[in-house]
Structures are given as C-alpha cells and as structure tokens.
C-alpha cells in the first residue's frame, strides 16, 4: 500500500479521471448484478462515495487515483473469488480506516457490525508488514484469529495482494523484492489452502517475475515459441477421447491448459532438467456436467475410457474423489502415455468440483448450504484456533510453524480403528501421536505403521495406518522438536520441556539459596537478579536450571561485594573497551543504493552469505543481521523469501561495482557420459582456455555416467556464465549447474 503525491507516467485530465473511475464502478455493479437484492445498490453507492471522498487526494505510485485500487480489489473479489455484496463493500472500504480520517465507528454506523468487523480485520493485516519480526508474527496471529472468525477477511486480503502484485511495476526494486517474497512465502500458500488455485498460480508467477526475472522471461518466451506445436499435440491427444465420450452420451468439455511458469520452473529446479525435458508443460482437463448423485460414478467411467485409450502410470494416480483435500478440492488425476511417447497429465472433475477448485472457499460455502456435512475447512479453522490459543509466547517461530503446519500439502493417515487424520506432508509418527491427544504424544516411544515397528521420527505417507506405542516412563527431549512439523506437536513438546526444566530448576533453587546464605547474603529477588545478570542469563529460572545441571557452580560468588546482606557486582580489574558495537553499522540513507566492492565499499563491513555464495553480477540484496552487520544474499537464495518476508525492514538495496581484482569461490556440478579423457577435456577448458583457478575437483563415475563437482574462483557472473556455456558445448556433457550449497 503505497501513496505518493507526484504523478510520474500518468497524464489524464481531471475529467478523464472521473470518467475512468465511474466506468470501473459501473463494471463492478455489472459483475455483481445477479447478487444485488433490494437496498443493496444504495449501500454500494454509499461505500463507493465514502471511499472516493476519503482517498480523493491520494495517488498510487503509478500516479493513478487511489480509488482505482479498492475498485479493482472489489472486482477481483466478485469476478475471480465469487464473493457478494457485503464483501464488495468491505473491499471498497478496506484501506479507509488505516489511511484516511474515516474511523471504524463511522463504518459501523453506516453499514453495521459485520462489515465493521471485517474492515477492522483488514486494517490489522495492513499493519502486519514492516514492523520488527516478533511484532509481525503477533499481528499475523491476530489476522488468523480474524480468519477463523470470518474467512472473508483473508479472501479480500488475497484480492488486495493480487492487485498489488499486478501493479508492482511502479515500485522501487527493494520494495518489489520484499512484497514478492512475502507473496510467495505466505500469501500464495494461503491462497492454495483456501482452494483458490488460479489466484495461487498467478501470485507465484507474478512473484517469480520479480524474484527470478531472467528465468521467468526465458520460460515465458519458450512457452510462446512452442505454443503452436503444443496445440497440435493436444488436438491429436484429445481427438479419440472426444469420440469415445460423445459416443457414451456424456455432456462434457475437454481442453488443454498450459502449466504455470512457476510450476515449470519448480520442476526444472527439483529434477535438474532443462525446459525441453519437462514433460508436463500442460494438463488436459475433462469437465463433466453431471448431477451431484452421479458425478463420482461419471468421473470413474471417464477415467476408465481414458485409460483404455492410453496406458496410465500407476504411481501418478491421484484420487481426490474418495478423499477430498481439506480445502475442498475434489478431482481425479492420472498421467498417461500419449502419442509420440509423451507423458500427459489428465484431470477429471465435474462442473461443481471445478467451481470449488477455481473459487475455493466461496464456492464451498455456496454448495454447503442445506447440508449437514462438517466441512474440512471448519476442521482446519478449528486446528488453527487450537494452535493460536496455546500459551506459547515465542512468536518469532510462529510464521514458520504456521507455514509448515497449516499451509503445507496434506497426507491422510488412518488410526487402528480406520478413522482418517489429515496431517501436513512431512509429518512423523510423533506428529500423529500428538494429533490424537497430547498425553499420548508425550508418552510416545514408537509406532507400528502398517503393522511394522518404526521409530517416532518415521515420516508418514498417505494411506498409512498408524498405531502408537507409549510408555509412562517416556519423557520428551529437545531432539523431539526436530522430528515434528505440526504446530500442536511443537507447542506441546515445548510446554513439556518447560515443565521438566522447572522441576530441575527447583533443585537448583535450593543450592543457590544455601550458597548465598553461606556467603552471608540474603536469598532475595535483588540478589537473584544480580547473579542472573552477572552470568548473562535470560531469567532466574535459567540460573537455577544451569546451577542444577552443574553448568554453573557459583565459585565466582567470592568476588562479589556485600553491602549488608545485598550483593554488589564485582568491579572489573581493568576497564574493558568494546570496540565492536553490536549492530551499529553505517548504512546508507533510506533510498540510497549500497555499493559493494566499489570505492565506497571499504566503509561498510559486510560478509557474503554461505547459503548462496553470491558473486559479482548476481542479483543481490543486503540483510542486516544482529551482531554480524551486513550479509549479502542472492535474491534467489533458498533463504531469501523467508528473510524478506519476515524481516523486510532489515533489507538494504545493494549492487555490485566492477572490480576485476577480486576472485570469488563458486561451484558447478557437471553430469555427462563417462568417457576416456572427459576430466582432461574439462580441466583443459577451465584452466587452459579460460585461465580460471580450480580450488577442488571431485568426479565420480557410475554405470556409464559421471558426476563432477568443481570449485573454482571467478571474478563475476559473466565469467561463470561463459564457463557454463562452454562446458555444455563439450561432447558428452549432459547438464551443468551452479550449486548454492554451503559446502562451496
């Protein structure tokens, strides 16, 4: 949410602006037409006028009148999410309480309590970003409480974020990086979890456009170049299926749609393949116009016809008809071998299922009316409520826990009695134990998965049947936190550890009391605080605990001074001069660009991040780390999205200055055919032709293939790109990739 007074690339007259705003408002009313009841038009008009008046002096970064943003958000809510009149009013007002003179009381007076509550929830979300990290996580909790109270808050917020992403071009680069990271880190998974697949993929694609501009452009271009060839293939694939379905009398639609740029990129990364090697660039979708009673049966009939025509891959069959995802998604997915030896994914669903897949939660509500089905959404909200109500004050981990626990893909596992439990992907037997009951979790010593004994750290897979084995002698330990992914399990383990620590600390309390009294000091709060601060501990509980486990033996007591029965800190023998201020780092002014490896670079202390090993020419950002000063990361670093989303206020815009005197260590991984002299060819090219220094080289050959890891010194990214290109041209080399691992 950005406001400025200047109008850069914007040149409409006041009159043209008014016409544009009215045109947008009328389009919104047209989209809403089927949902408008008597009296609604007046309310919508009031909300529009109230928002237009409140925002009349404000402009967006692009220079356009600010009111166009709430209007666009409202249209996304109506046209792409399927929300109604109330949500439209909330969308029009979503920024007013935060940015203008309008108060929550004004909104409540004009539109009632329900709308005021949603607008209040939206205002809280706007304040989430750009505060210190723990404050941010605290606010995120508030949002989620509002979400479980009224999910429309999140749906409108997602529409707001989608419009901001669509108009991100006019923002400054560091703002683009921060907003895009936050989008991919929190908002895209949230859209996915709410069942809004098309919004989720658009958010991911838009974020990638800013975080990975080169890869994005390259894939978009290749998709456009291969479009005609793909269409021809899709028609060839569909033709025999169409004939079969028509013959069987189905009312259907069948078409191919391209996969999103982000999902293609993900495949290329995960499987280390090139664009040309990604087999599923598109999916075939079959939509059936079936009645609710017959839709499941029809989907299976269609599945049978497709697999009669093309051979399916048994491993890639997904049945979300029998067991829908908790965000309501139902469909049948299969991957079959099509013409020319190409694998093709086919998705089969009814029109009702398709609407739920496109519109998520909003459509889910529409179909739920009049049924007594306890929706999986409601169960999900219930789990979030439980997680939020725990007494865990450490909210820094909260965002991360929330992501792994509630935004991940799911698996379903069975209890010994056959009840289904939904858990996030990556859950272990210990997570399952805690999902049944906390008391079973803390006493868990192992499990039987499909009747076979496994340890508590065993990762579960969809369809597993799990029986927990427990013992009253079992106690949780710190290591358990590494075995679980669900928020409930983490919180309960932390509680149990705290309780255990408190018991141990009680023993330490008596030792401290005895030693103080022997020394002639009183056992009181003042003296305990002095000792806690002397040993640089966070609390008196920590002091008692450290004494109890014999990490501290209070030998230093004799150096203290006594004033009556009060302890006084011992005076240091020499004054200690600390020349290293904790985080004082001379940073440039807010909008200045930080130049590293240039003339001004020696004024600033920085380190290159180990997780991604940046080299000059990489797209980078600076991150202020407590106690370590400035760390430089690549924008596509594995940790970048988390850092920029969670600690955006610490991100500093950074660029490289040309400097050919310094070399940087980086790594490349080469895979190819094992051939006599292959190592010679590679080293000749690197050392002989390109004159680059090799730091280390390891080559392993296995069954006719070799994999080589080479660490080399380069001056910048241009040099590295040139090397990769030349290596790829060598005969027998299959892939060449830069690797970001910390072991470079």
For 74-116, the pLDDT digits (tens) are: 999 888 888 888 888 888 888 887 777 888 888 888 888 888 8
- 558, HSE (Cβ side, Cα atoms, 13 Å): 2
Top pLDDT among 69 and 487 is at 69
pLDDT of residue 258: 81
Higher pLDDT, 142 or 325: 325
Is 661 a residue whose pLDDT tops 70?
Answer: no
What does the DSSP assignment read for 264-294?
HHHHHHHHT--GGG-S-SEEEEEEE---TTT
Catalytic residue selected from 17, 24, 99, 355: 99
pLDDT on residue 577: 33
Predicted local distance difference test score (pLDDT) of residue 420: 77
Euclidean distance between CA atoms 539 and 201, whole angstroms: 46
SS3 state of residue 360? coil
Model pLDDT, residue 8: 41
What mean pLDDT is predicted for residues 365-383?
55
Q: Where, residue-wise, is CATH 3.30.70.260 in the chain?
A: 664-739
Q: Per CATH, is 381-494 categorized as 1.10.260.40?
A: no
- What's the pLDDT band for 7 if we cut at 50, 70, 90? very low
List every span in the chain annotated with CATH 3.10.20.30.
381-494
Q: Are 403 and 387 in contact (CB under 8 A)?
A: no
Q: In which band, very low, low, confident or very high, does the pLDDT at 286 lie, cut at 50, 70 and 90?
A: very high
pLDDT (0 to 100) of residue 405: 58
Question: pTM of whole model > 0.75?
Answer: no
Query: What CATH superfamily classification does 664-739 receive?
Result: ACT domain (3.30.70.260)
Answer whether residue 283 shows pLDDT above 70.
yes
310-334 confidence digits (pLDDT tens): 998 888 888 888 888 777 788 999 9
pLDDT attached to residue 387: 62
Q: What is the pLDDT of residue 131?
A: 38
Report whether pLDDT(46) > 60.
Answer: yes
pLDDT for the residue numbered 302: 92
At residue 242 the predicted structure's pLDDT band, cuts being 50, 70 and 90, is very high
What proportion of the chain, given as a percentage, has pLDDT over 70?
A: 81
Query: Is 80 exceeded by the pLDDT of residue 641?
Result: no
pLDDT at 600 over 50: no
- Report the alpha-carbon distance of residue 620 to residue 607 in Å, rounded: 13
The residue with greater pLDDT, 373 or 660, is 660
3-state secondary structure of 189: helix
User: What pLDDT sits at residue 102?
Assistant: 82
Token pair of 587 as six digits = 């940073």
* pLDDT higher than threshold 60 for residue 26: yes
Please, where in the chain does CATH 3.30.460.10 lie?
220-360
Lowest mean pLDDT among 131-140, 470-479, 600-609, 625-634: 131-140
Please indicate whether residue 386 or residue 146 has the higher confidence score (pLDDT): 386
Cα gap 141→144, rounded to integer Å:
5
3-state SS, 527-593, equals HHHHHHHHCCCCCHHHHHHHHHCCCCCCHHHHHCEEECCEEECCCCCCCCCCCCCCCCCCCCCCCCC
Averaged pLDDT, 651-670 = 77
Instruction: Note the pLDDT of residue 285.
Output: 92
Contact 430, 457 (CB under 8 A): yes
Residue 426's pLDDT is: 87
Between 419 and 41, residue with greater pLDDT:
41
Facing residues of 708 across strands? 670, 699
pLDDT of residue 506: 83
Name all contacts of 24-33 with Cβ < 8 Å and 24+ positions apart.
Answer: 24/68, 24/71, 24/72, 24/75, 25/71, 27/75, 28/71, 28/74, 28/75, 28/78, 28/88, 31/75, 31/78, 31/79, 32/78, 32/84, 32/85, 32/88
If one compares 601 and 291, the residue with the highest pLDDT of the two is 291
Residues of the chain with CATH 1.10.3210.10: 14-194
Predicted pLDDT of residue 397: 57
Pick the more confident residue, 368 or 75. 75
pLDDT of residue 414: 84
The reported pLDDT for the residue numbered 683 is 85
Average pLDDT over residues 203-220: 89
Q: Is the pLDDT of residue 355 over 80?
A: yes
User: Which CATH code for domain 220-360?
Assistant: 3.30.460.10
pLDDT, the chain, mean: 78
The closest of 721, 723, 716, 737 to 687, measured between CA atoms, is 723
- Tell me what pLDDT residue 389 has: 58
599 is catalytic: no
Report the distance separating Cα 385 and Cα 402, nearest Å: 12
pLDDT in tens, 501-511: 888 888 888 88
Separation of alpha carbons 688 and 261, rounded Å: 39
Percent of the chain with pLDDT over 90: 10
**The CATH number of 14-194 is which of 3.30.365.10, 3.30.70.420, 1.10.3210.10, 1.10.10.60?**
1.10.3210.10
Residue 398 is predicted with a pLDDT of 58
- Predicted confidence band of residue 372 (pLDDT cuts 50, 70, 90): very low
Query: Which of 2, 24, 98, 707 is the catalytic position?
Result: 98
The burial class, CB within 10 Å (0-12 / 13-18 / 19+), for 221 is exposed
How far is residue 78's CA from residue 146's CA, in Å, rounded to a whole number? 21
Report residue 573's pLDDT band, with 50, 70 and 90 as the boundaries: very low
Q: What is the C-alpha R_g of the chain?
A: 30
> Is residue 250 predicted with pLDDT exceeding 80?
yes
Distance of CA 346 to the CA centre of its chain: 27
CA distance linking residue 402 with residue 397, whole number of Å:
8
The whole-number average pLDDT for the span 719-733 is 86
pLDDT at 428: 92
Confidence of residue 133 (pLDDT cuts 50, 70, 90): very low
**521-545 average pLDDT score:** 82
More confident: 542 or 570: 542
In terms of DSSP bridges, do strands 651-656 and 594-596 run parallel, antiparallel, or are they unpaired?
Answer: parallel
377 pLDDT band (50/70/90 cuts)? Answer: low
Sort 576 into a burial class: Cβ within 10 Å, 0-12 / 13-18 / 19+: exposed
The whole-angstrom separation of Cα 582 and Cα 579 is 9
Q: Among 241-245, 569-573, 679-683, which range has the highest average pLDDT?
A: 241-245
């Amino acid at each position: 949410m950005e406001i400025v007074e200047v109008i850069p690339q914007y040149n409409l007259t006041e009159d043209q602006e008014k016409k544009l705003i009215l045109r947008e408002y009328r389009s919104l009313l047209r989209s809403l037409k089927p949902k408008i009841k008597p009296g609604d038009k007046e309310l919508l008009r009031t909300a529009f006028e109230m928002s237009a008046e409140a925002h009349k002096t404000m402009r967006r970064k692009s220079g356009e009148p600010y009111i166009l943003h709430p209007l666009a958000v409202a249209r996304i809510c109506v046209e792409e999410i399927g929300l109604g009149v109330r949500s439209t009013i909330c969308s029009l007002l979503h920024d007013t309480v935060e940015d203008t003179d309008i108060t929550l009381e004004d909104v409540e007076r004009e539109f009632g309590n329900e709308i005021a509550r949603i607008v209040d929830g939206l205002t809280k979300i706007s304040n989430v970003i750009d505060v210190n990290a723990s404050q941010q996580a605290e606010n995120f909790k508030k949002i989620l409480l509002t979400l479980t109270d009224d999910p429309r808050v999140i749906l409108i917020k997602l529409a707001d974020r989608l419009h901001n992403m669509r108009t991100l071009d006019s923002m400054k680069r560091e703002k683009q990086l921060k907003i895009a990271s936050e989008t991919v880190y929190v908002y895209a998974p949230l859209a996915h979890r709410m069942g809004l697949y098309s919004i989720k993929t658009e958010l991911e694609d838009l974020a990638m456009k800013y975080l990975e501009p080169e890869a994005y452009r390259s894939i978009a271009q290749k998709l456009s170049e291969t479009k005609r060839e793909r269409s021809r293939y899709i028609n060839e694939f569909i033709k025999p299926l169409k004939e079969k379905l028509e013959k069987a009398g189905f009312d259907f639609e069948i078409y191919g749609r391209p996969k999103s740029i982000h999902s293609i990129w993900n495949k290329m990364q995960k499987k280390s393949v090139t664009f040309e090697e990604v087999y599923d660039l598109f999916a075939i979708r079959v939509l059936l116009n079936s009645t609710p009673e017959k839709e499941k049966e029809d989907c299976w009939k269609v599945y049978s016809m497709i697999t009669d025509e093309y051979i399916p891959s048994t491993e890639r069959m997904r049945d979300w008809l029998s067991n829908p995802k908790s965000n309501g998604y139902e469909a049948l997915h299969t991957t079959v071998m099509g013409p020319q030896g190409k694998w093709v994914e086919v998705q089969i669903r009814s029109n009702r299922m398709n609407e739920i897949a496109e519109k998520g939660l909003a459509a889910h509500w529409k179909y739920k009316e009049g049924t007594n089905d306890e929706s999986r959404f409601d169960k999900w909200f219930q789990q979030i409520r439980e997680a939020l109500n725990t007494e865990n004050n450490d909210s820094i981990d909260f965002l991360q826990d929330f992501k792994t626990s509630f935004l991940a893909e799911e698996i379903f596992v069975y209890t010994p009695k056959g009840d289904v439990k939904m858990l996030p992907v990556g859950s272990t037997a210990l997570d399952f134990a805690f999902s049944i009951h906390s008391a079973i979790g803390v006493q868990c010593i192992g499990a039987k998965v499909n009747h076979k004994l496994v340890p508590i750290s065993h990762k579960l897979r969809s369809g597993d049947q799990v029986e927990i084995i427990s013992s009253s002698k079992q106690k949780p330990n710190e290591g358990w936190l590494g075995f679980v992914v669900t928020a409930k399990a983490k919180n309960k383990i932390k509680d149990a550890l705290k309780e255990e620590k408190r018991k141990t600390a009680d023993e330490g309390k008596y030792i401290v009391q005895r030693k103080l009294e022997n020394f002639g000091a009183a056992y009181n709060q003042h003296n305990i605080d002095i000792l806690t601060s002397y040993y640089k501990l966070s609390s008196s509980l920590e002091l008692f605990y450290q004494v109890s486990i014999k990490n501290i033996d209070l030998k230093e007591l004799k150096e203290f001074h006594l004033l009556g029965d009060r302890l006084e800190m011992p005076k240091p023998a020499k004054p200690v001069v600390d020349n290293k201020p904790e985080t004082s780092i001379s940073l440039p002014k807010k909008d200045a660009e930080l130049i590293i490896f240039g003339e001004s670079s020696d004024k600033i202390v920085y380190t290159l991040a180990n997780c991604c090993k940046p080299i000059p020419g990489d797209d980078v950002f600076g991150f202020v780390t407590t106690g370590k000063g400035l760390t430089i990361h690549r924008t596509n670093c594995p940790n970048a999205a988390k850092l920029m989303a969670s600690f955006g206020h610490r991100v500093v815009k950074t660029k490289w200055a040309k400097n050919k005197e310094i070399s940087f260590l980086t790594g490349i991984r080469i895979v190819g055919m094992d051939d006599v002299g292959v190592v010679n060819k590679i080293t000749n090219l690197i050392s002989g032709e390109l004159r680059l220094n090799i730091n280390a080289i390891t080559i392993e050959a296995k069954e006719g293939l070799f994999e080589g890891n080479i660490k080399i010194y380069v001056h910048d990214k241009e040099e590295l790109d040139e090397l990769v290109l030349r290596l790829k041209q060598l005969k027998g080399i299959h892939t060449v990739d830069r690797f970001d691992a910390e072991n470079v």
